């Protein structure tokens, strides 16, 4: 591990590094240089500022950067030792220092021939063993061989999990619906609000329903509460405890807790503590997805992940896409005060992709102390947000185009619509015309002169002027296949890694979610029994009182 990232060392502070100061100076020199000027000055810019990784064509020409910016950013990464930390991750070193864990989601998609060791033990055979078990199970559900307690075929699969045990499978199922068994229904329950489970099961036949309880720890209160209620719902209909074995399977690292819940550990699919929740849907956490799309498509997706892993591990800095995207985020977040980052997919199937990325990015890099425990004095992870592009155009793009904030954005689009669309495939060119038009408008805008030349009255010219100079990355692929989804997710995983490495934070812990959990446990008896809770602040106490009145307690 590099000097910066080792615990117990006091590395040079990021903002005291000469490379950091050089970037600040360079930002001042570039000042308001407009993308119009940069494109005029370099007729090759559009072709020079593109990269290819797997099926993903990456155009970064519409960024507020020059060759010098990119060089300075790479020098910063090199001085910090980003590549060394990356190599330590791939070697299975315990780079998640606050939890003393290796970070090996890359092992989940490594070929069987790879050797990746944690504490001297090769973890790859175990990964493939579980994948094979998942494949057998998925086949049995898909073929109808696995039946419910009454002998009926399983028609509905309900995944119960939250955070990383929900967002990944739910997102990927939406993305890969066209590859899914259309005769099965898939639902995802995460919220402890009873409405979530109620709406998910109200029209289902319990005799045809399988629950997959997905929880790394198997102690998460939301998931255990939902799973317990799901079991009650099932048993109320089927009236026999033995039904649980046919209608419940678990995905977890905690066999003891799974058994305690009443699920046969033979029906448990394992993963490991070196897989972070938000990096886990390509592990057994993706079981519901594998049932939906089948083992072959799931493995195609894993191959897509692996392709980008290898690119990240081996590509030189100048061609390394996750490194580039990570550094561009540093450029805007730390040198242009950008607070947020928009991810705008031009595919309906990617509707939940940004929600998935919110956990990946914000739970990883929403930190304010460095690896050594010192407060950081630089901005860390951005607010990640966005929804499918065309819908956004009629909602919040106004702010992107003419607001006062700088919001870098990723535009993700595909050349081919899916085969199944039939006549509706004709919509695709219109969708993509919007995709291309938006990044053009954001980058180049419309000058007051251009507006006036259209005969617009003088008083309206300022309102119809677009300043432009709003940076975007365009990610274009041929089609949204399982492999391409894997490539996209791995790209963002490694981008987040790069940024955490630069900021010298632990991207793999999530202590920030703990306090709320502890307080909720403490407050619950105050709501139900009116118990006196020590340490409640005056505001919360009054709100609790009001809540009890409203509930007639």
Query: Would you count residue 164 as binding ligand F6P (CB under 6 A)?
Result: yes
Radius of gyration of the chain measured on its C-alpha atoms = 25
Catalytic residue among 394, 459, 514, 532: 394
Query: Would you count residue 510 as binding ligand F6P (CB under 6 A)?
Result: yes
464 catalytically annotated = no
Residue (of 100, 271, 92) closest to 169 by Cα position: 271
Could you tell me the smallest distance in angstroms from the CB atom of residue 92 to ligand F6P?
21
Catalytic residue among 93, 222, 270, 363: 363
**Of residues 59 and 270, the one with the C-beta less far from ligand F6P:** 270
Query: Would you count residue 381 as binding ligand F6P (CB under 6 A)?
Result: no
**Of residues 114 and 229, the one with the C-beta less far from ligand F6P:** 229
Could you tell me the smallest distance in angstroms from the CB atom of residue 63 to ligand F6P?
31
149 catalytically annotated = no
Query: Would you count residue 215 as binding ligand F6P (CB under 6 A)?
Result: yes
Is the Cβ–Cβ distance between 338 and 382 less than 8 Å? yes
Burial of 370 (0-12, 13-18, 19+ CB in 10 A): buried
Query: Would you count residue 220 as binding ligand F6P (CB under 6 A)?
Result: yes
How far is it, in rounded angstroms, from Cα 89 to Cα 541? 46
Query: Would you count residue 142 as binding ligand F6P (CB under 6 A)?
Result: no
Query: Would you count residue 278 as binding ligand F6P (CB under 6 A)?
Result: yes
With contacts defined by CB under 6 A, name the span among 121-129, 160-168, 334-342, 488-496 that binds ligand F6P. Answer: 160-168
Is the Cβ–Cβ distance between 372 and 10 less than 8 Å? yes
Query: Would you count residue 513 as binding ligand F6P (CB under 6 A)?
Result: yes
Among 74, 216, 246, 428, binds ligand F6P (CB under 6 A): 216
Query: What sign for the dihedral angle of Cα 344, 350, 356, 357?
Result: negative
**Of residues 230 and 342, the one with the C-beta less far from ligand F6P:** 230
Residue 398 phi/psi, 5-degree rounding, is -50, -45
Among 64, 88, 162, 484, binds ligand F6P (CB under 6 A): 162
**Of residues 61 and 96, the one with the C-beta less far from ligand F6P:** 96
Q: How far is CA 399 from CA 108, 351, 395, in A?
A: 40, 21, 9
Query: Would you count residue 168 as binding ligand F6P (CB under 6 A)?
Result: no
**CB atoms closer than 10 angstroms to residue 304:** 26
DSSP 8-state secondary structure symbol assigned to residue 150: T
Angle between helices 482-503 and 82-90 (to 10 degrees): 130
DSSP 3-state assignment of 414?
Answer: strand
DSSP 8-state secondary structure symbol assigned to residue 497: H
Residue (of 426, 428, 446) closest to 436 by Cα position: 428
Residue (of 209, 483, 282, 279) closest to 269 by Cα position: 282
Residue 494 phi/psi, 5-degree rounding, is -75, -30
Show the binding pattern over residues 348-367: x = contacts ligand F6P (CB under 6 A), - = does not.
Answer: ---------------x----
**Of residues 163 and 413, the one with the C-beta less far from ligand F6P:** 163
Question: What is the torsion angle, in degrees rounded to the nearest 10, for the CA atoms of residue 521, residue 524, residue 525 and residue 528?
Answer: -160
**Of residues 380 and 510, the one with the C-beta less far from ligand F6P:** 510
Size of the site for ligand F6P (CB under 6 A): 14
Q: Which two tokens stand for residue 95?
A: 């780079």
336 catalytically annotated = no
With contacts defined by CB under 6 A, name the span among 89-97, 148-156, 209-217, 286-294 that binds ligand F6P. Answer: 209-217
Window 456-495: residues binding ligand F6P (CB under 6 A): none
For the chain, give the longest Cα–Cα distance. 78
**Of residues 4 and 223, the one with the C-beta less far from ligand F6P:** 223
Among 92, 277, 389, 486, binds ligand F6P (CB under 6 A): 277
Is the Cβ–Cβ distance between 232 and 198 less than 8 Å? no
**Of residues 425 and 513, the one with the C-beta less far from ligand F6P:** 513
Could you tell me the smallest distance in angstroms from the CB atom of residue 359 to ligand F6P?
7
Residue 160's H or E segment, with its range, is strand 156-160
With contacts defined by CB under 6 A, name the span among 28-36, 68-76, 163-171, 236-244 that binds ligand F6P. Answer: 163-171
How far is it, in rounded angstroms, from Cα 242 to Cα 221? 24
Among 114, 185, 217, 379, binds ligand F6P (CB under 6 A): 217
Catalytic residue among 121, 405, 517, 521: 517
Long-range contacts of 115-118 (CB under 8 A, 24+ apart): 116/90, 116/91, 116/92, 117/91, 117/92, 118/92, 118/274
Q: HSE on the CB side for 425, CA within 13 Å?
A: 11
- Catalytic residues, by residue number, are 363, 394, 517
Binding positions for ligand F6P, rule: CB under 6 A: 162-165, 215-217, 220, 223, 277-278, 363, 510, 513
């Amino acid at each position: 591990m590099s000097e910066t990232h080792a615990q117990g060392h006091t590395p040079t502070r990021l903002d005291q590094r000469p490379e950091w100061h050089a970037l600040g100076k360079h930002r001042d020199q570039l000042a308001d240089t407009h993308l119009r000027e940069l494109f005029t000055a370099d007729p090759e810019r559009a072709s020079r500022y593109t990269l290819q990784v797997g099926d993903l064509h990456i155009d970064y020409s519409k960024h507020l950067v020059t060759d010098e910016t990119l060089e300075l950013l790479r020098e910063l990464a090199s001085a910090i030792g980003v590549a060394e930390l990356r190599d330590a991750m791939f070697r299975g070193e315990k780079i998640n220092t606050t939890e003393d864990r290796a970070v090996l989601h890359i092992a989940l998609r490594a070929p069987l021939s790879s050797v990746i060791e944690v504490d001297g033990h090769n973890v790859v055979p175990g990964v493939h063993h579980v994948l094979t078990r998942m494949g057998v199970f998925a086949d049995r559900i898909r073929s109808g061989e696995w039946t419910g307690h009454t002998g009926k075929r399983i028609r509905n699969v309900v995944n119960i999990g939250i955070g990383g045990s929900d967002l990944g499978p739910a997102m990927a199922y939406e993305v890969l619906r066209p590859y899914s068994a259309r005769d099965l229904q898939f639902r995802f329950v995460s919220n402890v609000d009873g409405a979530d489970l109620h709406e998910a099961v109200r029209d289902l036949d319990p005799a045809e329903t399988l629950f997959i309880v997905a929880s790394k720890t198997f102690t998460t209160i939301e998931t255990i509460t939902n799973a317990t209620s799901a079991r009650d719902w099932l048993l109320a209909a089927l009236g026999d405890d033995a039904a649980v074995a046919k209608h419940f399977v678990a995905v977890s690292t905690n066999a003891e807790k799974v058994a305690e819940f009443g699920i046969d550990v033979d029906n448990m699919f394992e993963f490991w503590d070196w897989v972070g929740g938000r990096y886990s849907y390509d592990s057994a956490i993706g079981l519901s997805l594998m049932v939906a799309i089948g083992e072959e498509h799931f493995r195609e997706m894993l191959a897509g992940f692996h392709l980008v892993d290898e690119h990240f591990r081996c590509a030189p800095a100048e061609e390394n896409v996750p490194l580039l995207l990570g550094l561009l985020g540093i450029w805007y977040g730390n040198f242009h005060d950008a607070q947020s980052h928009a991810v705008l997919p031009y595919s309906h199937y990617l509707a939940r992709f940004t929600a998935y990325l919110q956990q990946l990015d914000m739970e990883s890099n929403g930190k304010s102390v460095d690896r050594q425990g010192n407060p950081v004095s630089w901005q860390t992870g951005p607010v990640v947000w966005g929804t499918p592009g065309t819908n956004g155009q009629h909602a919040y793009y106004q702010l992107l185009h003419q607001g006062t904030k700088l919001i870098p954005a990723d535009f993700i689009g595909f050349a081919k619509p899916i085969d199944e669309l039939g006549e509706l495939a004709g919509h695709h060119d219109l969708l993509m015309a919007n995709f291309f038009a938006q990044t053009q408008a954001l980058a180049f805008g419309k000058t007051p002169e251009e507006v006036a030349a259209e005969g617009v009255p003088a008083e309206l010219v300022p309102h119809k002027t677009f300043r432009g100079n709003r940076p975007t990355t365009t990610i274009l692929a041929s089609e949204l296949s399982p492999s391409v989804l894997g490539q996209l997710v791995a790209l963002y995983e490694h981008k987040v890694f790069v940024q955490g490495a630069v900021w010298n934070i632990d991207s793999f812990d999530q202590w920030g979610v703990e306090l709320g959990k502890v307080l909720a446990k403490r407050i619950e008896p105050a709501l139900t029994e009116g118990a006196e809770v020590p340490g409640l602040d005056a505001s919360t106490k009054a709100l609790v009182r009001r809540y009890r009145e409203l509930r007639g307690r």
